[in-house]
Structure 1
C-alpha cells in the first residue's frame, strides 16, 4: 500500500493536455497553425509569380491581399457607388462597384482607421471572422456528431481549399460568420436572432435569397414533420416573417441601385458585365438558369467537345450532387436543415451564376458539409482529407494569385 501511495501518477501526454483545453483555445491553436501554413503558401506563390501575371514578378503577399475584389471594396469606401452606370467604348454597362455590398467594406474602413490602412483592416476582419466562423461551425457539427468529428470539421474548414480567403480583402469570411450563426440559430429553433443576422448577411455579399428559399423549405419540412417535432404557432409566424424579410433584403440592393442610378436594371446589368470576361457578346437581360446553360456551351467549346456533351456533363454534375445530398449517409447525419441549406444555395447558384473559376470561391457557403467529411472515424481517412485540403489550397493560391489573369481559369 505504501508503495502504491508513493508511486507518482503518470504525467498526462501532450494530446491529453491539449484535449483538456477549452474548445475555443483548441480551435484557436488549430486556426493559427492553419494561418501560418497559408501565409507560407502566399509567400511561395509571390516568389513564383511570373512577369505576365496580374501582380507581376515582384508580387508580394500584401499585394495579393489587396488585389482582385479587394480593390473594389476599397473603391466602395474611397470613391463610392456611381450615380450613373459607367459604359464601355461600345456603350455596354461596364464593371462597377454596384456588384459589391457595403458592410464588409465599411467595417474594414472603420477598423483600418485604428490599424493604419484599409487593407490592414480588411485582412484583420477576414482573419477574425474566419476564427469566429470556426467556433460556430464546431457548434453546428457538434449538434449532429461527436466532439472529435466536429473538431476535424473545423480543421478541414480552417485548412480548406479556399481558406486563403481568410488572408485577403474579400467578404466571404464575414459572410460565413453570419451564415453559420444563422444556420445554428435555425437548428436550435432560436429564430429571433435571424431578424438581425439576415440583414447582416444581405449587405455583406449576395446569397441571402438562397437563405429565403432555405427558410421556405425549412418551414415546409417542419410542417410535414410536426408529429415528431411540435410546430408552435410562434415558430410558424417567425419562419414566414423571416422568409419575407430575407426576400426583401435580397432584392433591396437592386432597388437601391436602381433608385440611385435611375436605371431599374442597374444591379443585374452590372453583374452581367462580368460575363464579358468569358463571353464576347453576353445577353443584356438576366434570365434565371441562363448562366449555367451558357457556361455549359462555352466550356464545351473550350474543351473541344460537342455542345451537347457540355449539357450532359452539367446534368450529370447536378444529378450527382442531388444524390449526395439525398442519399450519402454521412451527409444525412448532418440533418435536414444543413441539407436543405446546401440544396437551396446550389439551386441559387444554378439560377444566377455563370460557371467559371470563381465558382470554387462561391461554393464556400457549403462549408457545413465538412461535418460529413469528418464523420468517418478512420485516422487514415481524416489525414487523407486534410492532405487533399492543403494540396487544393496551394493549387488555388498558386493559380489565382501567382498565375493571376494569365488564363481564363486563374480568376478567383
Structure 2
C-alpha cells in the first residue's frame, strides 16, 4: 500500500524515473550493438561507432541534412520521377535542433538526441496525466512503464520526431478530454509542422465536439465556447494541409509533398490500403494467408479497443485508437517502420495491463501484467536494436 500511496502523491516523479531507467537500458543496448555497425553504410559516420553515432541512423540523417542544408528549392528527379528528399520530413524538430545547436555549439547527434530524450520525458508526464484522469494513478504508472520499455522506445532518445509529436498529440488529446478547446486547437495546429497526424486527430475532435453538443441541455453552450469549439476543427484542418502547402510554395510543384512521400513506396506512389496486403503477401508468400492474417489483426484490434475491458479509457482515447489505427491501414506502407508508428497507440496499453474495466474490482493482476509486459518489451527491444538499428548492408530494413 505504501507504493500505491507514493504513486498517488508522486506520480509524475515516478513516471519520470521509470522513463529514465528505461532510457538507460536502451542506451546500454545501443552502445553494445554499436560495434556491429558497418561505418561504410552510415551517413555522417566518424568511423568510430558508439552510442552517439547510433542515435542518428536512418531517418536521423535526413534531419541532419535539413539542419545543415535546409530544404531543396527544386525536387530531385530521375527520368521525371521524384526521388527521396527532405520534403518528406516535417520542420519543427530540425528547427528546434538547429536553434539549440546554435545556442550551445553542440553536435547534431548530441543536441538532437538529448532534445528527444527531454521531450520524451515531457510526453510520458502528459501521458500519465491523460490516463490518470480516466483510470487512476496506478494504471497510469503501469502504462508509462510498459510504453517506456516497448521495443521501439529507443527512438525517444534518437534524432527522430516521435518524442516531439507525442508531446503535441497528448497535449491535444488531454485538452479535448478536458474540453479545453483553445488549447486543443493550438496543439492540433502545431502537429501540422511536426507529424502527419491531423486527420485522425480531427476525427477525435469531431467526437469530442459531438459529445459536448449532446450535453448542451443540462450544460448550455455559450457563444464564446461555440467559437472555441470551432477553432479546434479549424486547427486540425489547417494542420492537415499546411506542410504540403509550404512544400508547394517553396518548390512550385503542387504535389511536391505527396510525390516525395511516394518515392519511399515500392511502386513510387502513395496507394491507399493495398500496400498492407502486398507486404503481408511478401511476408507469408500467399495472398490468401496475407488477407486472412490482416483480417484477424483488424478484427482483433477493433475487439480489443471497443470491448468492455476498455470502457474506462473514455471516448477521446478510444476514438484516437480507432481513428489512428485505420489511418495507418489507409496510408502506411507497412514494414519495419510500423514499430515506430505504433508508439502513438499507447492508450491500448491500458487494456493490455487490465486497467480498462469500468469497475475497479474487475481490474485483476494489473501489477503483474505490467511487470510481464515490461519484461517482454525489454527483451524485444534488444532484438529491435540488434536487427533494425544495425546496418550490415546499404539496403537494410529502415526503422
Q: TM-score with structure 2 length normalisation? A: 0.88
1:21: how far off?
6.7
C-alpha displacement of 1:395? 1.8
**Distance in 2, Cα, partners of 1:36 & 1:153:** 18
- Note the alpha carbon deviations across 1:290-320, whole angstroms, 9 max, x for none: 3431331243134221x24323322222222
Once the two structures are superposed, the pairs formed by residues 144-293 of structure 1 within 5 Å of their partners are 144-224=134-214, 234-275=224-265, 279=266, 282=267, 284=269, 286=270, 290-293=271-274
Match of 1:8 in 2: none
**Is the alpha carbon distance of 1:110 and 1:236 closer, same or farther for their aligned partners in structure 2, counting shifts above 3 Å?**
same
Out of 62, 77, 80, the residue aligned to residue 91 of structure 1 is: 80
Quick check: 2:284–2:290 contact (8 Å CA) kept in 1? no
Q: Contact 2:190–2:239 at 8 Å: present in 1 too?
A: no
- 1:123-179, Cα deviation, whole Å (9 max, x unpaired): 111111111111111111111122211111111122222210122100110110111
Of 346, 365, 373 in structure 1, the residue corresponding to residue 325 of structure 2 is 346
Check conservation: 2:276, 2:333, Cα contact below 8 A.
yes
Change (3 A) 1:17 1:345: closer
Task: Kindly indicate whether residue 13 of structure 2 is the aligned counterpart of residue 34 of structure 1.
Answer: no
Query: How far apart are residue 382 of structure 1 and its match?
Result: 1.9
Query: Are the counterparts in 2 of residues 405 and 411 from structure 1 also a CA contact under 8 Å?
Result: no
Report deviation, 1:411: 1.5
The answer to whether the 8 Å contact 2:63/2:89 transfers is yes
- Residue 344 and residue 302 in structure 1: after superposition, are their counterparts in 2 closer, same or farther (change >3 A)? closer
Deviations 1:43-91 (A, max 9, x none): 1221344688658996322111121111111111211111111013x43
Pick the structure with greater CA Rg: 1
Task: Give the counterpart of 1:61 among 51, 60, 82.
Answer: 51
Give 1:381 deviation, angstroms: 1.8
Number of corresponding residues? 387
CA contact (8 A) 1:108 1:119 kept: no
Q: What is the root-mean-square deviation of aligned Cα atoms in Å?
A: 2.7
Q: Does 1:411 align with 2:398?
A: yes
Distance in 1, Cα, partners of 2:181 & 2:210: 16
Shift of 1:221: 3.8
Aligned pair partner of 1:111 in 91, 100, 104: 100
What stretches of structure 1 of length at least 5 have no aligned partner?
1-11
Moved more, 222-231 or 295-304: 222-231
| 1:324 maps onto 2:313 in alignment | no
TM-score by length of 1: 0.85
Counterpart of 2:348? 369
Return the match for 2:383 from 395, 398, 411: 395
